[in-house]
A and B are shown apart, each in its own frame.
Chain A
Amino acid sequence: MNLERLLILSAILFAIGLYGALTRRNAVAVLMALEIMFSAVNLAFIASSRYIVPSSLRVDSFIPSTETVQSLLTGQIFAIFIIAVSAAEIALGLAIIMVVYKNRDSIDVSELNSLNR
């Protein structure tokens, strides 16, 4: 249960999500792979916030208080923002997918190339 292990796990999850996002052809599956990538980044942030000493704690000269120690939780704050952004992204992405499905009767991402013509 140390930092390197968790970061390597997050790297593996990110790579799996990247492979899925590049190869899946169903648009909903691409969004699901994106969610795996978001989760991997979240895991990296939270592992860092649990294990890495913030620089305000490393200075020997002053006495740390809870105000300085709570900068330890910055990683968790970042994770909250990532969750909010990914919730917005999934809502808009699914709305776009529904509109595309209504208009073209297919959500295969390799067929969505009408901007190309």
Chain B
Amino acid sequence: MIFFVLILLALLGWLSLVMVGLFAIVGFQDGVFWVVSTAMISAAVGVVLAKDIFKAALCLVATFLLMAGLFVLLSAEFLAVVQVLVYVGAVSILIVFSVLLTRSMAEKRPSIPLQVVAATLSTLLMLLIIIAVSSTDWVVIGPDLGDTRLGLIEEVLGDTPQFISGMLLNKWVVPFEAASVLLLAAILGALVLIREQRDES
């Protein structure tokens, strides 16, 4: 027991040493980005490949939490809070409950041709997107915009909830109402689907 604790402590110390070194080399933001993105990719692979469906659900929770961390890094704090509330709080609970309610069956592995076709399809799509992204000439926010505009951008990005609420209720009010109607329809549909069928007699 003590032995395992010691090994765990050594591993943690080694990991933090590596992370401190990484942060010192590439800077804090880049270091956080690399750590979070590698962890997120491995968690997503875990969701896709884990045989046990409950472990896959736990990996999904990890993916959502890391995604919220990335949102904070992108100065979208409101979205990070919404991500934690909706995905980690609600969607994951729903998924875990349905995993528990549908008795876990021994999932057969998919056939080899299907795996090959799916792997080639998704790899091709990924390569296509990567080529398109890296060959596009993006106009990104930089010092060439001038100080007044950069100051305004800082102001907007520093207080996103205020501006998001203003935009949602002015310019985007019709999609906002449509989304609320969609959620209502989804709630009613789920209730009707899941309701116990009672005999009329």
Contact = CB atoms under 8 A, between A and B. Distances in A.
A19 B119 contact: yes
Interface string B110-139: 100011011101110110011001100011
Contact of B37 (A9, A46, A81, A83): A9
A28 B41 contact: no
B156 A28 contact: no
Interface residues of A, number: 77
Contacts of A42: 67, 79, 83
Interface string B15-42: 0000000000000011001000100110
Interface in B70-94: 70-71, 73-76, 78-79, 82-83, 86-87, 90-91, 94
B9 interface: no
Given A36-B47, A77-B172, A91-B94, A16 B122 contact: yes
B153 A69 contact: yes
B148 interface: yes
Interface string A27-40: 01101110110010
Given A73-B164, A80-B79, A94-B98, A51 B140 contact: yes
Nearest to B144: A53
Interface residues of B, number: 85
Given A18-B122, A22-B121, A85-B179, A46 B76 contact: yes
Contacts of A108: 105, 107-108
Given A35-B91, A88-B186, A101 B33 contact: no
B167 interface: yes
B107 A26 contact: yes
A35 B70 CA distance: 17
B97 to A, nearest CB: 8
Contacts of A36: 44, 47-48, 60, 63
A18 B94 contact: no
Contacts of A15: 122-123, 125-126
B193 interface: yes
B67 A66 contact: no
Contacts of B190: 91-92, 94-95
B95 A32 contact: yes
Given A17-B48, A29-B53, A80-B168, A69 B156 contact: yes
12 contacts: A4-B134, A9-B40, A13-B41, A15-B126, A16-B44, A19-B122, A25-B108, A33-B47, A46-B71, A84-B183, A98-B193, A107-B102
Interface of A: 1-9, 11-20, 22-26, 28-29, 31-33, 35-36, 39, 42-43, 46-47, 49-53, 57-58, 63-66, 69-70, 72-74, 76-77, 79-81, 83-92, 94-99, 101, 106-108
